[in-house]
Structure formats: C-alpha cells, structure tokens
Amino acid sequence: MPKPVVAIPCDFREFDGNVWHVVAHQYVRAAVEGAGVMPFLVPALESGNDIDEILDRVDGVLASGARSNVHPSHYGREATDADGPFDAGRDATSLPLIRGALDRGIPLLAICRGIQELNVALGGTLATEIQDLPGISDHRKPDVPDLDIAYGIRQDVVVKEGSCLAPVLGTGRIRVNSLHRQAIAATAPRLAVEAVADDGTIEAVSVIGAKAFAVGVQWHPEYWVRTDGPSAALFKAFGDAVRGYRESKAK
C-alpha cells in the first residue's frame, strides 16, 4: 500500500531577489523517517489554495516551525516591530489547514510556530519577547552556527499525568529543545495544556474532543527524531494516527 500523505504548509521566503515556497529539511526528513509518511508541501499562497481540495488528498497535517510569527491581527491585536517577522502567505495557508484538519478528524502535529498557529486558529492569543516577562526564562535559540548546539536538548518540561501525551512520552520530566521567543498567552478554549516548562510556559497542548491525534509542541522533536527517544515516540504516534486515518478512508 502506498505511504500516507501528510501536508506541510510552506513558508514564503525571498532569496537573492527570487521568492520561494520552502520547508526546512529537518521537518521533511522527520516526516519520512520518523512518521513513515510522504510529505506534500503546500505553497504559502495568500489566495489560490483550495483547502478542501488539499485535505481531500492528504491523511495528515504537519504544521512546522518557521522564522516568521503569526500576524497579531489574527488574534485581535495591532502589530508592533517586536511581533515580526511576518509571513502572510503562511498564515493564509496554515490557519485554515489546521481548522479544516480538525473539522474532518485528520491527524495534526503542530511544532513551534505550528503550536502558536493552532492556538490562534482556535481563538487563543500569543505573547512575544517572553524572555523579558517577569519570571520567564530565556527560551530563545542560541546564536551559534553549529545547529546541533543550537538545537541541543537542554530544557526540562513536565508532561501532565492523565494527558493524551502521557502514553506517548510518559509523565513527569523530559528533556527537550525548546527554542522560541513567542509563546501561548491565553490558551484557546478547545485546547488542553499537556506540558509546561519550569517557568510556567506552555510547551505542549492537545485539542479537546479531537476526532484524531491533534497535538502541538513548542519544542523541536523533528531535529533529533533519529536519536532521541521522546522525539521518535512523538513522530511514531503521529505516523500511526495518519496510517489509521488512511485505513479508515479506504473502508
């Protein structure tokens, strides 16, 4: 049987005067190797994507991290310079893909920017430059050229007992590589908090009453999916859910 297909929304980027629809290789590699699925890269169009047609053809959605942030207009705020950079094409693509996947019961894994998109898509808000807030640690990516160091597993999060992630990751403390300067502020009403950092920052959520696997994590399991147990377990759980969805469609 052909591999199930997972949609990954692209970012809209400019390089040397040309514009590109791009996804970082680490997400594509993790989808193939960690989840056992075939990625389908969705162009980041401000208009022109038919979300229903896309969702008709896929078995899962992977909302990846990115250098850009969700525009504050999507959660009722005026934008400031501190909120950027922005990517209107990514917003216009990813937010409706997330909502559509949840409506249809298509499995969803949302990472970094993805968890923030998930929260915004369901009515939540975001905080920016969280390292400047009282009592909040500096979660930003280290400014070093070696990506293995930049994405190093260095932070504890606590997975809540009884959460949907507990069977996948276990309960209690796990070590992750959480790299971000924005985070969930007001949690969307449909989201349950699954894991938090020691400073209280929300690091994982799930969709309450979801028809299928629907999880967002603020850290980067895709980077170490080959060697880190929790990272591999998360992508395997996503892949298993995607295969289950594909099989249910075939009946």
Q: Name all domains of the chain by residue range, CATH numbers in brackets.
A: 5-250 (3.40.50.880)
Residue 251, pLDDT score: 80
The DSSP annotation for the chain comes to -PPPEEEEEPEEEEETTEEEEE--HHHHHHHHHTS--EEEEEP--SS---HHHHHHT-SEEEE---SSB--GGGGT----GGG--B-HHHHHHHHHHHHHHHHHT--EEEETHHHHHHHHHTT--EEESGGGSTT----PPP--S-HHHHT---EEEEEPTTSTTHHHH-SEEEEE-B--SEEESSPPTTEEEEEEETTS-EEEEEETT-SS-EEEESB-TTTTTTT-HHHHHHHHHHHHHHHHHHHHHH-
The single residue of 71, 112, 117, 203 carrying the catalytic annotation is: 112
The single residue of 117, 194, 203, 222 carrying the catalytic annotation is: 222
pLDDT in tens, 13-41: 999 999 999 999 999 999 999 999 999 99
Residue 82, pLDDT score: 86
Residue 41, pLDDT score: 98
- Residue 180 known to be catalytic: no
- Residue 25 known to be catalytic: no
pLDDT in tens, 202-232: 999 999 999 999 999 999 999 999 999 999 9
The single residue of 71, 139, 180, 220 carrying the catalytic annotation is: 220
- Residue 164 known to be catalytic: no
Residues of the chain with pLDDT under 50: none
